[in-house]
Structure 1
């Protein structure tokens, strides 16, 4: 019996479009970033943080679902081994990232109700800081993967060409 193993790869055009069109996600991340820059519940409203983090959790669920549905593919064809392994690694990170933001969101709820638990709240700001950095690294790696799939090994040299060609 001949079996073909499915290999992970990306649809670079769709993956880039998903990222380019998700302005709400990046707006939420920037608004949330203010909390760990200041991280003083007396200055910033913890309820606002709770609302933003809940919206981020929901937006990430949508973002990852779109990426996994349209941006990542499993094919039984010859795929570059680097692209395949990097695609599989980055796709797998979606679960860990999502579970982390869900946990932070739940702990924020616990920190606010019935009364503000300042220590738990500040701990979640710190966790969000770590999450934010990890998510930025993940997004940068997906961008590099898009460049590799589009331009091969010359991805860094041709970034300006990529941006110009996609504006048309």
Structure 2
């Protein structure tokens, strides 16, 4: 395909009872039940990557139905998403012990792309998606529900 291995958008989805982001001791964003979504953006991502991942995230059947079976999506339950940009998801650890972040998009590309990702989520969900503070040293707190943690990347949608 011509896409170097690992050079696509990656997300970590965590089913949570609650999650929050604090910056400089101040609460920046929080949600109750739903998903904490950590987002890593590569320099070769496109709107197609956003659309694929937003569809997967919002339709993942990881919430319990009345029988206690993971059979319902975020859309089914009406829960929230807290989105946090995290360039370290694209870390390359193959050589040595210090991760390389060359596969992560530079901030001038990543910020508008992350904003577009959030806007696309909001359009699908029909509500505001709280976020962390791009580029800040964030303290992310969560109560993982299950735990349920799913790794997704847009390369799967190619």
TM-score norm. by structure 1 comes to 0.24
Which has the larger share of helix? 1
Report which of the two structures shows the higher radius of gyration computed on alpha carbons. Answer: 1
